[in-house]
């Protein structure tokens, strides 16, 4: 292999091999992948070792199984690649320029994947209502983000890791694919192929394609209800494990040939290392795809999923493929013959005890013990212990847990709840999550999402109760700790909020913003400054750090700088409609304008905040103050009346009465207070004001 041969690793997330024409599926047109296939070696049976994006990609890039590299789930884990055979580092040592562009938050740089990369683009727009696992960008945009880097390295040895997310849920293919395909998943696959076509065309334009090694694969497949689950992660059937794998060698050497033996994603690193003559100082479980195709040399392929245990407290599953057999170990074990029964409909568990014994023996060679994410990091363990979580987690006990396949009806109920939340129907989402939890109170994700729904409804105490339950069940999840910090901040419990934000900040970027906001509220602007600067440096396309920085500059009486930061956030927000993600931005701008004596602008900003978020009472009261300064008492009264209509509560009446007194309307304040005393005679705020 020529020294410095370019290497391009393409990962199409959630792509089932049996939905490509190259693997016999003629209902989806994928001309770009078909063209690459003609120039490449096609591996007919390639398998992931875990049907989850982050751990599968870590295995793809290290050649190690999850028990060896330590990343077992999408959430709560961070790759610590020091001492591991991490592909970008291996190629960096060979003198390669290394770059990556990814399309999902799950593969963000802060998950530890950016080690060894010169260039790592993970800029994504994170909406307030979007589940982090669903945060993605269009594959064409991901490619556009990498074009300049690709052009800069085209004449040098380079490694490019390119990841697209099109076939992943939510399945909503763009036109013309949405109209062309009855199956939304097939439409997404066709859309993914269009992105690959654009990439291959760019490589040809740069005169790289012919001489390059190009490996195309996927991290895992998709259920599509073949066994009752639409997505992936819960089960270990073939549809979730089998992925496409194409290897194009320089100048299409061996193009059109096939590898018939079963291989795994763990074979990617040894294959590329062997081709490039790289030394790998690690005993890898995989082997090069080019080592021959002798079926007698077939070794078992391991797979696992701890997703059911981490998120639902259902049993984890393990499997081993030793062709033609596939054994799935769980509370209700299964054995299938993949050659005679590729759809895995006929469980042979009781038919062949000899094969069953051999498959169980294979699994004993792999570490299967349960280790919660927090147990990876000593500092995190100490913080959890200080908060009373570590060691008491219900998710790590040895109780007999149900098999995930027996719980699929609950999965469908949760799907409805998540969709309601994503569409902004928070009350409906909260009711649905609560309904599920009434019968399955151990579901960690449902408690967490119930908390988020309640936060969106302006109920921080109720949200805190839900987050607390999720923390107890998970044994201390950094994302949940971050959510608890936000709820405690909203309740003004700043010391407690800081403890949880500090626990979450290493694995949950949004908690950095919360931690800075806590310091600002506590008046410790000096402590907030470095946190804000770090958040800005690491923000990617997140808008939250801009808002936090604006709050800090406002607190430092640097009002013009605060306005510039909020203006930048609004410009980047553009024509999006998820205003929840930049809540209070107009309130902050109104306050800045007020200090700068730009009263018309202040009134406009406060009115906009009140329109978008009528539960923000201070937007109405400040608007009334501005109208009074503009000598417009009638508009001031009208603003307070709108606040009372939107918030028919004792607290709103207290705010309105106090504001009327401040703006010199004592008789109106007295009349309103008398009405409030009749309606809420025992309310402490009203009694204090009276």
Q: What number of residues does the chain have?
A: 690
Assigned domain for 532 exists: no
Assigned domain for 45 exists: yes
Residues 220-227 have a mean pLDDT of 97
| Number of domains into which the chain is organized | 1
User: For residue range 667-676, what is the model confidence (pLDDT) as tens digits?
Assistant: 999 999 999 9
Strands (E), 275-431: 301-305, 317-322, 325-329, 334-337
What pLDDT, on the 0 to 100 scale, is given for residue 297? 66
Confidence at 164, pLDDT banded by 50, 70, 90? very high
Indicate the helix (H) or strand (E) that contains 184.
helix 184-205
pLDDT at 381 over 80: no
Token digits for 83?
């001492």
Alpha-carbon gap, residue 200 to 6, rounded angstroms: 13
- Please state, in angstroms and as integers, the Cα–Cα distance from residue 101 to each residue in 72, 121, 533, following that order: 23, 5, 24
Assigned domain for 528 exists: no
Assigned domain for 331 exists: yes
pLDDT at 208 over 90: yes
Higher-confidence position of 220 and 512? 220
> Across all residues in the chain, what is the average pLDDT?
90
Confidence at 457, pLDDT banded by 50, 70, 90? confident
User: For residue range 70-99, what is the model confidence (pLDDT) as tens digits?
Assistant: 999 987 788 999 999 999 999 999 999 999
| 12, 199 Cβ separation under 8 angstroms | no
What pLDDT, on the 0 to 100 scale, is given for residue 282? 77
Confidence at 575, pLDDT banded by 50, 70, 90? confident
Residues 13-41 have a mean pLDDT of 95
Assigned domain for 468 exists: no
Q: Beta 317-322 vs 325-329: how paired, if at all?
A: antiparallel
HSE at residue 594, side-chain half, CA atoms within 13 A, is: 21
Residues 475-490 have a mean pLDDT of 87
What pLDDT, on the 0 to 100 scale, is given for residue 394? 40
Angle at 682 between CA 677 and CA 687, to 5 degrees: 60
Cα 586–chain centre separation: 28
Alpha-carbon gap, residue 378 to 17, rounded angstroms: 40
| 433, 417 Cβ separation under 8 angstroms | yes
Assigned domain for 173 exists: yes
Residues 518-530 have a mean pLDDT of 96
Token digits for 408?
């699929």
Cα 268–chain centre separation: 25
Using CB atoms within 10 A of its CB, is residue 512 exposed (0-12), middle (13-18) or buried (19+)? buried
Token digits for 165?
């997310």
What pLDDT, on the 0 to 100 scale, is given for residue 527? 96
At residue 217, φ and ψ (nearest 5 deg) are -155, -165
pLDDT at 151 over 60: yes
Residues 273-286 have a mean pLDDT of 89
pLDDT at 114 over 80: yes
pLDDT at 392 over 50: no
Question: In sequence order, what are the residues at sequence separation of 6 or more whose Cβ sits closer than 8 angstroms to the Cβ of residue 459?
Answer: none
Residue 352, domain extent: 7-290+298-363
pLDDT at 128 over 60: no
Q: Which pTM was predicted?
A: 0.82
pLDDT at 399 over 80: no
Higher-confidence position of 442 and 3? 442
Assigned domain for 590 exists: no
What pLDDT, on the 0 to 100 scale, is given for residue 506? 67
In the chain, the percentage of residues whose pLDDT exceeds 90 is 75
Q: Look up the CATH number of the domain holding residue 98.
A: 3.40.720.10
Residues 369-393 have a mean pLDDT of 56
What pLDDT, on the 0 to 100 scale, is given for residue 376? 45
Using the structure block, give the residue that is written with the tokens 């393990």. 318
Higher-confidence position of 632 and 26? 632
Confidence at 400, pLDDT banded by 50, 70, 90? confident
Using the structure block, give the residue that is written with the tokens 């439409």. 187
DSSP string spanning 443-474?
A: -HHHHHHHHHHHHHTT-HHHHHHHHHHHHHHH
User: For residue range 301-333, what is the model confidence (pLDDT) as tens digits?
Assistant: 999 999 999 888 899 999 999 999 999 999 999
pLDDT at 281 over 80: no
Assigned domain for 487 exists: no
In the chain, the percentage of residues whose pLDDT exceeds 70 is 93
Token digits for 411?
């999965």
pLDDT at 631 over 60: yes
What pLDDT, on the 0 to 100 scale, is given for residue 545? 93
Confidence at 26, pLDDT banded by 50, 70, 90? confident
User: For residue range 635-650, what is the model confidence (pLDDT) as tens digits?
Assistant: 999 999 999 999 999 9
């Amino acid at each position: 292999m020529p020294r410095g041969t370019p290497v391009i690793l393409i990962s199409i997330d959630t792509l089932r091999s049996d939905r490509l024409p190259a693997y016999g599926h003629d209902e989806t047109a994928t001309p770009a992948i078909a063209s690459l296939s003609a120039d490449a070696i096609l591996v007919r049976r390639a398998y992931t070792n875990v049907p989850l994006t982050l751990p599968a990609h870590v295995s793809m890039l290290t050649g190690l199984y999850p028990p060896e590299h330590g990343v077992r789930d999408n959430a709560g884990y961070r790759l610590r690649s020091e001492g591991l055979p991490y592909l970008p580092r291996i190629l960096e040592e060979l003198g390669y320029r290394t770059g990556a562009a990814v399309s999902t938050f799950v593969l963000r740089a802060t998950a530890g994947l950016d080690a060894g990369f010169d260039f790592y683009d993970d800029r994504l727009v994170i909406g307030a209502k979007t589940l982090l696992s669903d945060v993605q960008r269009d594959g064409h945009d991901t490619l556009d983000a990498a074009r300049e880097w690709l052009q800069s390295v085209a004449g040098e040895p380079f490694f490019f890791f390119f990841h697209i997310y099109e076939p992943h849920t939510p399945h909503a293919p763009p036109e013309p694919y949405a109209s062309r395909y009855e199956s939304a998943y097939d439409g997404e696959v066709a859309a993914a192929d269009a992105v690959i076509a654009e990439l291959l065309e760019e490589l040809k334009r740069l005169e790289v394609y012919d001489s390059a090694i190009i490996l195309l694969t996927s991290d895992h497949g998709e259920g599509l209800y073949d066994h009752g689950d639409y997505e992936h992660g819960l089960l270990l059937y073939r549809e979730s494990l089998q992925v496409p794998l194409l290897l194009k060698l320089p100048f299409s050497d061996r193009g059109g040939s096939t590898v018939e033996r079963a291989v795994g994603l763990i074979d990617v690193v040894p294959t590329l290392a062997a081709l490039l003559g790289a030394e790998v100082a690690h005993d890898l479980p995989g082997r090069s795809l080019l080592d021959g195709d002798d079926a007698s040399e077939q070794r078992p392929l391991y797979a696992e999923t701890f997703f059911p245990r981490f998120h639902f407290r259902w049993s984890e599953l393990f499997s081993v493929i030793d062709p033609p057999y596939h054994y799935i170990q769980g509370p209700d074990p299964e054995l299938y013959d993949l050659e005679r029964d590729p759809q895995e409909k006929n469980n042979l568990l009781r038919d062949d005890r000899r094969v069953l014994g051999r498959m169980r023996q294979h699994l004993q060679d792999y570490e299967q013990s349960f280790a919660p994410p927090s147990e990876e990091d000593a500092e995190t363990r100490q913080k959890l212990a200080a908060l009373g979580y570590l060691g008491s987690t219900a998710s790590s006990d040895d109780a007999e847990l149900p098999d995930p396949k027996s719980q699929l009806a609950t999965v469908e109920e949760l799907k409805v709840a998540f969709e309601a939340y994503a569409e902004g129907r928070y009350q409906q989402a909260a009711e649905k999550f609560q309904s599920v939890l009434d019968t399955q109170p151990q579901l960690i994700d449902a408690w967490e999402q119930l908390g988020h729904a309640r936060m969106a409804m302006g109920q921080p105490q109720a949200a805190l109760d839900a987050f607390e339950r999720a923390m107890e069940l998970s044994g201390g999840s950094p994302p949940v700790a971050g959510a608890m910090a936000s709820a405690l901040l909203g309740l003004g419990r700043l010391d407690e909020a800081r403890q949880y934000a500090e626990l979450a900040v290493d694995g949950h970027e949004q908690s950095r913003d919360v931690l800075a906001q806590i310091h600002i509220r506590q008046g410790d602007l000096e402590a907030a400054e470095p946190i804000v600067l770090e958040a800005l440096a690491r923000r990617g396309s997140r808008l939250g750090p801009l808002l936090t920085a604006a709050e800090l500059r406002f607190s430092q009486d640097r009002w013009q700088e605060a306005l510039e930061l909020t203006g930048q956030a609004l410009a980047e927000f553009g024509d999006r409609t998820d205003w929840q993600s930049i809540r209070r931005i107009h309130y902050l701008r109104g306050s800045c304008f007020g200090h700068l004596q730009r009263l018309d602008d202040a009134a406009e900003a406060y009115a906009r905040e009140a329109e978008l978020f009528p539960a923000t009472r201070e937007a109405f009261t400040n608007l009334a103050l501005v109208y009074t300064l503009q000598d417009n008492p009638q508009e001031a009264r009208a603003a307070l009346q709108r606040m009372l209509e939107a918030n028919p509560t004792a607290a709103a009446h207290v705010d309105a009465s106090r504001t009327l007194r401040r703006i010199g309307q004592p008789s109106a304040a007295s009349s309103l207070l008398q009405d409030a005393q009749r309606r809420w005679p025992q309310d402490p705020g009203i009694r204090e004001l009276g």
